[in-house]
Amino acid sequence: MELAWLRTFVTVVEHQNFRKAADILFISQPSVSFHIKQLEKEVGVKLLERTNKKVSLTEEGRRYLQTARKLLKTYQDGLKELHSFTQGYRSKFSIAISPMIADTLLPSVLKQYLKSHKDIEFSVAILESIDIERFVLEEEVDIGISRVPSFNPKLQCETIYEDDVILVSPYHKREIDKMISDQKLFNEYHLLTHNHPLYWDDLIKQLKLQHPQLKTMKVSQIYITKRFIEEGLGISFLPRSAVRAELIEGKLIEVPCQSINVPKTSTYALTKHQHTFEKEFISFLLEHKYV
């Protein structure tokens, strides 16, 4: 059996048309017909029905389609594995991380890790924290780095980083030499909320009691929140690690907030298996999180 026959069969099924399959595979339509006939001869059953230019699967074809896709995937996976080996990689390791972690904690840590692990083919998936648990559970990735803890009994959840949440405002040159009050900020600006999956509901309840006229605006991404603050569109409570660079550069200002109990936030490592790579990477994160 030739892989070309399987590829042609799957392509015809996906597009339900011999001509489209021929165009996609860069072969002639008679070649498509030949591949299908040869495959049907090989497996000993009819796989496709053609009526009025419409292509449909037979019952046998429907059963065989899954097998054909598995065979093609196995072939592709084998090629990827071989190419990785020829490039000098001896192992693969994949992680899923939230956008905030990708923008703050991970880059410098990953740079340090790769310096001493040059034989590992590393892949990173950027996902919202609420989706990371599922990817780890379904073994789409080896480890998840999330802002949301997991309570799934099939997963192990370890706190790798605890962070202060601080009130951040736009930079105002005229106010460099005097303290900005949080009361003034809450009266002057919109509060940009819900850029973190955990702490906002409680924060808003506290703030509404102290500042009944508070105006809020939901902004789901932290990096967008930071840009909005820089442009003077509002203020927000953000993890210190998320704004460390902007504070150092003077683009944003930290404002003491005495009127409410400001929470802390954590970063978690989620794993389904505690193999050598998972344990080693978590240990590396714990050791180098401030790099």
Per-residue model confidence as pLDDT tens digits over 193-246: 999 888 999 999 999 888 888 999 999 889 899 999 999 999 999 999 899 889
Q: Half-sphere exposure of 131 toward its Cβ, with a 13 Å CA cutoff?
A: 11
- Tokens at residue 189, please? 């600006």
pLDDT band for 270, please (50, 70, 90 cuts): very high
Better-scored residue on pLDDT, 81 or 192? 192
End-to-end CA distance of the chain: 54
Whether residue 84 is predicted with pLDDT greater than 70 in this model: the reply is no
Using alpha carbons only, how large is the chain's radius of gyration in Å?
27
> What percentage of residues in the chain have a pLDDT greater than 70?
90
At residue 174, the pLDDT reads: 46
Could you report the per-residue pLDDT of 88-102, keeping only the tens digit for each? 545 778 899 988 888
Position 86 scores a pLDDT of: 59
* Residue 285 to residue 83: CA distance in whole angstroms: 29
Task: List domains and CATH numbers for the chain.
Answer: 3-86 (1.10.10.10), 91-161+266-288 (3.40.190.10), 163-264 (3.40.190.290)
Highest mean pLDDT among 85-94, 106-115, 136-145: 136-145
For residues 275 and 93, the answer to whether their CB atoms sit within 8 Å is no
Quickly list DSSP for 85-126: HHTT--EEEEEEE-HHHHHTTHHHHHHHHHHT-TTEEEEEEE
To 10 degrees, the CA torsion angle through 284, 286, 289, 291? -50
Tokens of 52: 């009025």
Alpha-carbon distance 240 to 257, whole Å? 14
| Separation between Cα atoms, residue 274 and residue 118, nearest integer Å | 22
Query: Average per-residue pLDDT in the chain?
Result: 86
Residue 272 has pLDDT above 50, yes or no: yes
Q: Give the residue among 234, 257, 252 at the shortest CA–CA distance from 188.
A: 234
pLDDT at 291: 46
Model confidence at 257: pLDDT above 50: yes
Specify the pLDDT at position 87: 59
